[in-house]
Homo-oligomer: A and B are copies of this chain.
Amino acid sequence: MPASASQSARARVRVELEKEIRDAARARLGLEGPAGLSLRAVARDLGMVPSALYRYYESRDALLTALIIDAYRDVGEAARQADASVDDQDFARRWLTTTRAVRAWALAHPQEWALIYGSPVPGYRAPSDTVAAALVVTSTLGHILGQAQRAGRLRPIGDLPIPADLSPDLEAMALLTGTVPEPVGVASVVAIGYVIGAISLELFGQYDNAIEARSSLWDAAMTLVARTVGLEM
Protein backbone atom coordinates (compact mmCIF):
# COMPACT_ATOMS: atom_id res chain seq x y z
CA MET A 1 0.00 0.00 0.00
CA PRO A 2 1.66 3.25 -1.12
CA ALA A 3 2.26 5.93 1.45
CA SER A 4 -0.14 8.46 -0.06
CA ALA A 5 -3.04 5.97 -0.07
CA SER A 6 -2.60 4.96 3.55
CA GLN A 7 -2.21 8.60 4.49
CA SER A 8 -5.53 9.27 2.89
CA ALA A 9 -7.05 6.24 4.62
CA ARG A 10 -6.37 7.89 7.95
CA ALA A 11 -7.47 11.21 6.46
CA ARG A 12 -10.74 9.69 5.28
CA VAL A 13 -11.56 8.40 8.75
CA ARG A 14 -10.78 11.83 10.10
CA VAL A 15 -13.15 13.53 7.66
CA GLU A 16 -15.87 11.06 8.56
CA LEU A 17 -15.43 11.61 12.26
CA GLU A 18 -15.48 15.36 11.80
CA LYS A 19 -18.81 14.91 10.09
CA GLU A 20 -20.12 12.67 12.85
CA ILE A 21 -19.15 15.27 15.39
CA ARG A 22 -20.96 17.99 13.50
CA ASP A 23 -24.02 15.76 13.13
CA ALA A 24 -24.08 15.06 16.85
CA ALA A 25 -23.63 18.77 17.57
CA ARG A 26 -26.47 19.63 15.21
CA ALA A 27 -28.73 17.21 17.05
CA ARG A 28 -27.73 18.86 20.33
CA LEU A 29 -28.56 22.31 18.96
CA GLY A 30 -32.22 21.37 18.96
CA LEU A 31 -32.20 20.78 22.69
CA GLU A 32 -30.20 23.67 24.04
CA GLY A 33 -29.77 26.24 21.30
CA PRO A 34 -26.51 27.62 19.93
CA ALA A 35 -25.53 29.49 23.09
CA GLY A 36 -25.80 26.34 25.17
CA LEU A 37 -24.02 24.01 22.80
CA SER A 38 -21.79 21.88 24.99
CA LEU A 39 -18.71 20.01 23.85
CA ARG A 40 -19.08 17.61 26.74
CA ALA A 41 -22.64 16.73 25.75
CA VAL A 42 -21.58 16.15 22.15
CA ALA A 43 -18.75 13.91 23.29
CA ARG A 44 -21.14 12.00 25.54
CA ASP A 45 -23.53 11.39 22.65
CA LEU A 46 -20.67 10.02 20.61
CA GLY A 47 -19.38 7.81 23.41
CA MET A 48 -16.14 9.74 23.52
CA VAL A 49 -14.30 11.50 26.26
CA PRO A 50 -14.58 15.32 26.04
CA SER A 51 -10.91 15.93 25.43
CA ALA A 52 -10.97 13.69 22.36
CA LEU A 53 -12.97 16.30 20.48
CA TYR A 54 -9.98 18.60 20.59
CA ARG A 55 -8.29 16.40 18.01
CA TYR A 56 -10.97 17.56 15.57
CA TYR A 57 -12.04 21.02 16.58
CA GLU A 58 -9.73 23.25 18.50
CA SER A 59 -12.49 24.86 20.56
CA ARG A 60 -16.21 25.14 21.02
CA ASP A 61 -16.25 28.24 18.81
CA ALA A 62 -14.49 26.40 16.00
CA LEU A 63 -17.19 23.77 16.08
CA LEU A 64 -19.88 26.44 16.03
CA THR A 65 -18.21 28.03 13.04
CA ALA A 66 -18.21 24.70 11.19
CA LEU A 67 -21.93 24.30 11.91
CA ILE A 68 -22.64 27.80 10.67
CA ILE A 69 -20.80 27.22 7.42
CA ASP A 70 -22.62 23.91 6.93
CA ALA A 71 -25.96 25.59 7.47
CA TYR A 72 -25.27 28.41 5.03
CA ARG A 73 -24.05 25.91 2.48
CA ASP A 74 -27.06 23.61 2.90
CA VAL A 75 -29.71 26.27 2.68
CA GLY A 76 -27.85 27.84 -0.24
CA GLU A 77 -27.74 24.48 -1.98
CA ALA A 78 -31.46 23.98 -1.41
CA ALA A 79 -32.11 27.36 -3.01
CA ARG A 80 -29.84 26.72 -5.99
CA GLN A 81 -31.31 23.31 -6.70
CA ALA A 82 -34.86 24.59 -6.52
CA ASP A 83 -34.00 27.41 -8.89
CA ALA A 84 -32.29 25.03 -11.31
CA SER A 85 -35.35 22.79 -11.44
CA VAL A 86 -37.46 25.42 -13.18
CA ASP A 87 -37.47 26.76 -16.76
CA ASP A 88 -35.04 29.62 -16.47
CA GLN A 89 -37.18 32.00 -18.49
CA ASP A 90 -40.18 31.54 -16.20
CA PHE A 91 -39.07 34.09 -13.65
CA ALA A 92 -42.28 34.14 -11.66
CA ARG A 93 -42.13 30.39 -11.12
CA ARG A 94 -38.45 30.55 -10.29
CA TRP A 95 -39.20 33.11 -7.58
CA LEU A 96 -42.03 31.14 -6.05
CA THR A 97 -40.24 27.78 -6.24
CA THR A 98 -36.98 29.05 -4.81
CA THR A 99 -38.50 30.99 -1.95
CA ARG A 100 -40.68 28.00 -1.09
CA ALA A 101 -37.57 25.82 -0.99
CA VAL A 102 -35.80 28.20 1.37
CA ARG A 103 -38.82 28.22 3.68
CA ALA A 104 -39.11 24.45 3.51
CA TRP A 105 -35.45 24.05 4.44
CA ALA A 106 -35.96 26.39 7.39
CA LEU A 107 -38.99 24.48 8.65
CA ALA A 108 -37.03 21.25 8.40
CA HIS A 109 -33.95 22.69 10.13
CA PRO A 110 -35.22 25.30 12.57
CA GLN A 111 -32.19 25.30 14.85
CA GLU A 112 -29.79 25.70 11.97
CA TRP A 113 -31.88 28.56 10.65
CA ALA A 114 -31.73 30.18 14.07
CA LEU A 115 -27.99 29.65 14.07
CA ILE A 116 -27.47 31.70 10.93
CA TYR A 117 -30.41 34.11 10.88
CA GLY A 118 -31.41 34.29 14.54
CA SER A 119 -30.12 36.46 17.34
CA PRO A 120 -26.33 36.37 17.47
CA VAL A 121 -24.68 34.00 19.94
CA PRO A 122 -23.25 36.23 22.69
CA GLY A 123 -19.50 36.11 22.90
CA TYR A 124 -19.17 34.39 19.56
CA ARG A 125 -17.53 36.31 16.75
CA ALA A 126 -18.01 34.81 13.29
CA PRO A 127 -14.74 34.53 11.38
CA SER A 128 -14.57 35.71 7.78
CA ASP A 129 -14.90 32.15 6.42
CA THR A 130 -18.61 32.41 6.91
CA VAL A 131 -19.11 35.49 4.76
CA ALA A 132 -18.94 33.83 1.36
CA ALA A 133 -21.20 30.97 2.40
CA ALA A 134 -23.73 33.48 3.69
CA LEU A 135 -24.21 35.03 0.27
CA VAL A 136 -25.57 32.05 -1.64
CA VAL A 137 -29.27 32.40 -0.80
CA THR A 138 -29.24 36.15 -1.29
CA SER A 139 -27.45 35.90 -4.56
CA THR A 140 -29.65 33.09 -5.90
CA LEU A 141 -32.73 35.19 -5.25
CA GLY A 142 -30.96 38.30 -6.53
CA HIS A 143 -30.06 36.63 -9.79
CA ILE A 144 -33.66 35.64 -10.47
CA LEU A 145 -34.74 39.26 -10.22
CA GLY A 146 -31.68 40.57 -12.05
CA GLN A 147 -32.11 38.17 -14.96
CA ALA A 148 -35.79 38.99 -15.18
CA GLN A 149 -34.89 42.64 -15.41
CA ARG A 150 -32.31 42.08 -18.11
CA ALA A 151 -34.82 39.97 -20.03
CA GLY A 152 -37.21 42.92 -19.91
CA ARG A 153 -39.66 41.02 -17.77
CA LEU A 154 -39.87 43.46 -14.87
CA ARG A 155 -42.43 46.20 -15.29
CA PRO A 156 -41.18 49.58 -14.09
CA ILE A 157 -42.21 50.08 -10.49
CA GLY A 158 -42.84 53.80 -10.78
CA ASP A 159 -40.74 56.54 -9.34
CA LEU A 160 -39.44 55.80 -5.89
CA PRO A 161 -37.30 58.43 -4.20
CA ILE A 162 -33.88 56.93 -3.51
CA PRO A 163 -31.80 58.75 -0.91
CA ALA A 164 -28.37 59.58 -2.32
CA ASP A 165 -26.41 57.72 0.35
CA LEU A 166 -28.20 54.48 -0.47
CA SER A 167 -26.96 54.33 -4.08
CA PRO A 168 -23.46 52.99 -3.34
CA ASP A 169 -24.92 50.19 -1.19
CA LEU A 170 -27.32 49.23 -3.95
CA GLU A 171 -24.57 49.23 -6.55
CA ALA A 172 -22.34 47.06 -4.39
CA MET A 173 -25.17 44.62 -3.81
CA ALA A 174 -25.93 44.57 -7.53
CA LEU A 175 -22.35 43.50 -8.23
CA LEU A 176 -22.38 40.91 -5.49
CA THR A 177 -25.72 39.29 -6.10
CA GLY A 178 -26.56 40.09 -9.70
CA THR A 179 -29.50 42.33 -8.89
CA VAL A 180 -29.86 45.63 -10.64
CA PRO A 181 -29.59 49.06 -9.11
CA GLU A 182 -32.27 51.69 -8.55
CA PRO A 183 -35.13 51.75 -8.39
CA VAL A 184 -35.57 48.01 -8.78
CA GLY A 185 -32.57 47.56 -6.50
CA VAL A 186 -34.41 48.82 -3.45
CA ALA A 187 -37.35 46.62 -4.26
CA SER A 188 -35.05 43.62 -4.62
CA VAL A 189 -33.42 44.25 -1.28
CA VAL A 190 -36.84 44.58 0.33
CA ALA A 191 -38.13 41.45 -1.38
CA ILE A 192 -35.17 39.32 -0.37
CA GLY A 193 -35.28 40.80 3.11
CA TYR A 194 -38.91 39.83 3.43
CA VAL A 195 -38.12 36.25 2.46
CA ILE A 196 -35.56 35.88 5.24
CA GLY A 197 -37.41 38.02 7.77
CA ALA A 198 -40.80 36.38 7.35
CA ILE A 199 -39.35 32.90 7.69
CA SER A 200 -37.76 33.96 10.96
CA LEU A 201 -41.04 35.41 12.20
CA GLU A 202 -42.80 32.14 11.53
CA LEU A 203 -40.03 30.02 13.00
CA PHE A 204 -39.53 32.12 16.09
CA GLY A 205 -43.17 31.84 17.05
CA GLN A 206 -44.58 35.22 16.04
CA TYR A 207 -47.46 33.61 14.14
CA ASP A 208 -48.46 31.40 17.07
CA ASN A 209 -52.12 31.74 18.00
CA ALA A 210 -52.60 34.11 15.08
CA ILE A 211 -51.93 32.51 11.71
CA GLU A 212 -52.52 28.86 11.02
CA ALA A 213 -52.56 28.67 7.22
CA ARG A 214 -48.90 29.50 6.94
CA SER A 215 -48.10 27.94 3.60
CA SER A 216 -51.05 29.73 2.07
CA LEU A 217 -49.89 33.00 3.57
CA TRP A 218 -46.45 32.36 2.13
CA ASP A 219 -47.73 31.91 -1.39
CA ALA A 220 -49.95 34.96 -1.17
CA ALA A 221 -47.13 37.01 0.31
CA MET A 222 -44.67 35.91 -2.37
CA THR A 223 -47.14 36.91 -5.07
CA LEU A 224 -47.54 40.30 -3.46
CA VAL A 225 -43.82 40.76 -2.98
CA ALA A 226 -43.06 39.74 -6.56
CA ARG A 227 -45.60 42.25 -7.76
CA THR A 228 -43.89 44.94 -5.71
CA VAL A 229 -40.63 44.29 -7.56
CA GLY A 230 -42.52 44.43 -10.84
CA LEU A 231 -42.62 40.72 -11.53
CA GLU A 232 -46.17 39.75 -12.47
CA MET A 233 -47.18 36.29 -11.34
A123 contacts partner chain B, Cβ-Cβ < 8 Å: yes
Point out the residue from B121, B172, B223 that lies within 8 Å of A33, measured CB to CB.
B121
Whether A197 pairs with B190 at a CB distance below 8 angstroms is no
Q: 0/1 per residue, A163-204, Cβ < 8 Å to B? A: 101101100110010000000001101100110111011001
Whether A120 pairs with B204 at a CB distance below 8 angstroms is yes
A160 contacts partner chain B, Cβ-Cβ < 8 Å: yes
Question: How many monomers of this chain does the complex have?
Answer: 2
**Majority DSSP secondary structure for residues of A touching B:** helix
Q: Which of A15-23, A44-52, A82-90, A111-119 contacts B (4 or more CB under 8 A)?
A: A111-119
The interface centre, meaning the residue of A168, A194, A216, A220 with most chain B CB atoms within 10 A of its CB, is A220
Residues of chain A having any CB pair with chain B under 8 Å: 31-36, 114, 117-123, 131, 157-158, 160-163, 165-166, 168-169, 172-173, 176, 186-187, 189-190, 193-194, 196-198, 200-201, 204-206, 209-213, 216-217, 219-221, 223-225, 227-228
